[in-house]
Structure 1
Amino acid sequence: MSSYQPTSKPSSRRQVNSSESSEASQASSSQYSWGSSTGSSNLSPGDALSESVDPTIHPTTLIHAHRLDAPAKLEDLAQKISLIKELLDQRLPPLSTPVSQYLLVVHIPKPLFSDIESQPNIFKGVRATLFPNRHQVLYKIMPDEQHDQIIAFFHDGLGKKLGDMGLSSFGGDFLFRNSTRTRGLSNSKEPDLWFGPYNVNVNGGGRGRYPSLVLEVGFSESSSQLRNDAHWWFTNSSEQTRLVVLIHANRGSSSGDNSSPWAVDIEVWTEVPNPSSHQTRDRPTNSLKCTQSARVKDGSVTGAPLILDFETLMRRPPVNPLEGNVVLDAGWIRIVCAEVGP
């Protein structure tokens, strides 16, 4: 499906800056904590999400996110997203003030929310977390070229690694899905990239709803939210998604130093036992943690290689001599992150 195009554009960059700077000022002055609000908050729990204590959404995301209240039609959403994309493009290095890549949409009329639910991927380069009980949506927005390049290189690079083992998507071994909406316990979410073994995800019944690996991409200011997203995939898949890769790009110095290099952090999150083996409703036996990380800065890679466990990825043990853990070496990581930067 083609992406939705807004029917109107902002009249000037000055209009964009004025509108968004006002919102950023309001958000920065607010106070938000888990389940409580003080002062004159732009995003109080009552006005934001009924799941305000749900770890799906990090408090800092709610504080700094752009906000759209009671949009009347899809064109309102499209125009707001276009404004934020333009603002993100303007605020690439040198930076003055970081700009949130999240848009929180609240009080959505029921007919419009139904349209949003029925048309996934309507906005190009935008990922949505939907909260049906309150008719609210949290959108993640990134500049198209960098976002798409990271996803494309990761997709192709992982496919080649598996191809070297004699596996292929055309051979019915695995499949990729771009931003496929997945339903969780109380909401639904779109990842940047969805991967799973073909036989499980096509013939596996209910298990096929959940990927074995998810890729989530964002800016460094969104790292807390991305890490919450990793937990979301584990808990909302009944612990079937046990491999999440996070890539977040550091957009450089806020001092205006145009020579400040970009840095890209890659984290691999996998299932690990909780320190205590005593399981309760609030403390399950296992959880998802960052177990490996690497950084790309000024062309150099530290922390490589990163290892993706074959059995976790394919949901089966290796069956031929070529199959084994996927090794993401420094060269592979450098290529995936090659297009990140000003």
Structure 2
Amino acid sequence: MASSASPTTEPPVFELGTTLEIPPAALEQNQELPFSIANFKKAVTDRLQALDGGDDTQLWIVFSDFDYSKLKYIDRLRYPIRLQLDGSKLIVKMVGPVHELMHISLIQLIQRDMGRMGLEPIRDYVGLGSTRHQHRSNNSFKEADSALAPITSPEWPSLVIEAGWAETLARLHIDAQWWLSAQVPPNSTTALVVLVSFTKSQRTFRLERYELVTVGRSVVTRSAPLGVRNLATCTAVTTIDIRSTPPIITGAPFVLPFAGIMRRPPIAPERNVSMSAVELEAWATTIARIRNL
């Protein structure tokens, strides 16, 4: 059952500056732990065990005073985590089965629609997975959940997907801000960020599309000499409520602009990527069935 009703929760709009500030609320007010290898291994192991036991209320761990020389050692541990570094602060995101299934199956849906218009992986675009990317400020890096880029400029993702639980949406919104502010022209930039989350209590999936929107400003500043500012703005929201049969879907189809993904205008039969209510229903109900949501 599809509906065009607008969502009741309005996603925030972020103004992008030259520095990236992460409000404490976006990290669920997690207490920062002083970094050491022993603290890292214990905290991550405990949190992963809690996640396996069904406790997914806290998906991030924050370490202060991170020793960058230990990064290679952490990588060799091969924990199911994503890493983000901001200055001396290391942010660790836990990765669980539902989380992985949400973003992997979603990017497969996107690639399937790209295939319908004649685009092929390797020939036209590449999947970048969770490759680590450096922010233009040079004191921050981040790993996406899923990402892809056109083969003409594969060094930086054009489309990024970040997944999590709806209880952590504040943190996911900051993820969108990070990607959309990470590079500036003439470097390749991220044009589209898709946030995908699930609310257990309401058994509802939520997709948000974030893009940079340029708006004029009345006061010219040093940081915006042309009198404009860029806002990381949510430009589309789709929800799939699986409590009923069939599910109640709002905001379908979920559309991704072609130019944002491929960094060029479409040439017929190319068009925007579109996921219909039928496709989104199958996506959501399959995840729910496989992971017993």
Specify the TM-score bucket, using the shorter chain as the normaliser: 0.7 to 0.9
Matched with 1:330 is 277
Matched with 1:168 is 120
Q: C-alpha separation between the residues in 1 aligned to 2:177 and 2:58?
A: 21
> Aligned to 2:37, what secondary structure does the other structure show?
coil
Structure 2 CA distance for partners of 1:309 and 1:81, relative to 1, 3 Å: same
Deviation of 1:137 after TM superposition, in Å, equals 0.8
Matched with 2:46 is 83
Amino acid paired to 2:200: R
Equivalent residue runs for 1:252-267 within 5 Å: 252=201, 261-267=202-208
Contact 1:294 1:304 in 2 (8 A): yes
Q: Deviations over 1:284-321 (max 9, x none)?
A: 532220011010112221110121111111011122x2
Aligned residue pairs: how many?
260
Contact 1:278 1:285 in 2 (8 A): no
Matched with 2:13 is none
Q: C-alpha separation between the residues in 2 aligned to 1:300 and 1:120?
A: 44
Contact 1:176 1:194 in 2 (8 A): yes
How large is the RMSD of aligned CA atoms in angstroms?
2.5
Residue 294 of structure 1: which of 209, 215, 238 is its match?
238
Matched with 2:211 is 270
> Is 1:156 aligned with 2:102?
no
Structure 2 CA distance for partners of 1:301 and 1:251, relative to 1, 3 Å: same
Q: C-alpha separation between the residues in 1 aligned to 2:28 and 2:257?
A: 36
> Is 1:146 aligned with 2:101?
no
Residue 123 of structure 1: which of 79, 86, 89 is its match?
79
> Is 1:64 aligned with 2:29?
yes
Q: C-alpha separation between the residues in 1 aligned to 2:73 and 2:182?
A: 24
Deviation of 1:213 after TM superposition, in Å, equals 0.6
Matched with 1:51 is none
Structure 2 CA distance for partners of 1:160 and 1:326, relative to 1, 3 Å: same
Larger radius of gyration, structure 1 or 2?
1
Contact 1:69 1:105 in 2 (8 A): yes
Deviation of 1:196 after TM superposition, in Å, equals 0.6
Q: Pick the structure with more strand per residue.
A: 2
TM-score normalised by length of structure 2: 0.79
Structure 2 CA distance for partners of 1:277 and 1:310, relative to 1, 3 Å: farther
Matched with 2:57 is 99
Q: C-alpha separation between the residues in 2 aligned to 1:334 and 1:217?
A: 18
Percent identity between the aligned chains? 24
Deviation of 1:277 after TM superposition, in Å, equals 6.6
Deviation of 1:106 after TM superposition, in Å, equals 2.1
Amino acid paired to 1:302: T
Q: C-alpha separation between the residues in 2 aligned to 1:242 and 1:113?
A: 29
Q: C-alpha separation between the residues in 2 aligned to 1:229 and 1:66?
A: 19
Structure 2 CA distance for partners of 1:72 and 1:269, relative to 1, 3 Å: closer
Contact 2:82 2:95 in 1 (8 A): no
Greater RCO, CA 8 A, separation 6+: 2
Structure 2 CA distance for partners of 1:109 and 1:290, relative to 1, 3 Å: closer
Amino acid paired to 2:92: Y
Contact 2:211 2:232 in 1 (8 A): yes
Q: C-alpha separation between the residues in 2 aligned to 1:113 and 1:249?
A: 31
Deviation of 1:91 after TM superposition, in Å, equals 4.5
> Aligned to 1:285, what secondary structure does the other structure show?
strand
Amino acid paired to 2:37: A
Contact 2:213 2:233 in 1 (8 A): yes
Deviation of 1:68 after TM superposition, in Å, equals 3.4
Contact 2:26 2:171 in 1 (8 A): yes
Residue 250 of structure 1: which of 173, 187, 199 is its match?
199
Contact 1:214 1:243 in 2 (8 A): yes
Contact 1:306 1:327 in 2 (8 A): yes
Q: Deviations over 1:45-64 (max 9, x none)?
A: xxxxxxxxx64523213453
Matched with 1:183 is 134
Deviation of 1:281 after TM superposition, in Å, equals 4.8
